[in-house]
Amino acid sequence: MDNLMFMRLGGGGAQQLDKLVGLAMLVAASVVFLYYTIWTLLMVYMIRRSALRDGQRLIRIVQPFVDSDHPLQNVFPPRVWAIRIPVILILLASAVVGSFLSVVMIRSNRKRAAKAKAAGKKKA
């Protein structure tokens, strides 16, 4: 009974650890989000389109928001990685989820087959 009252008052060590881990995960996710947002939005190359006099073709003029020789450019990797990193992470996550589902389905089928085999032996 005392343990239940202790946990209701919020003094549980595991509960505090969960909150601390959750806060750390929230801070890490926020830092990654802000870094990626700054990388892709502020360092992005703005594409302006200007029509030729003919009106048949559009010319793209690429200009960065931040100059290429600015020291802030050294904080970020090359722009190609702004696409590669998320694609790699999505592929990796898909592979992990697919592998997990495969293992679960295989184990489930093995258990079902073992139950069917045991039921067949009982009848015989």
Alpha-carbon Rg for the chain in angstroms = 28
Indicate whether 57 and 85 sit together in one domain: no
Question: pLDDT digit string (tens) for 79-116?
Answer: 788 889 999 999 999 999 999 999 999 999 999 988 88
CA distance 116 to 63: 68
Indicate whether 12 and 29 sit together in one domain: yes
**95 and 52 in contact (C-beta within 8 Å)?**
no
Q: Count the domains in the chain.
A: 3
Indicate whether 9 and 26 sit together in one domain: yes
Q: Which domain holds residue 87?
A: 80-124
Return the amino acid letter for 124. A
Indicate whether 123 and 88 sit together in one domain: yes
Indicate whether 37 and 53 sit together in one domain: no
Indicate whether 57 and 84 sit together in one domain: no
Identify the residue with better confidence: 27 or 81: 27
Indicate whether 15 and 3 sit together in one domain: yes
pLDDT at position 67 over 90? no
Identify the residue with better confidence: 18 or 43: 18
Helix/strand number for the chain, H first, E second:
3, 2
pTM (2 d.p.): 0.56
pLDDT at position 48 over 60? no
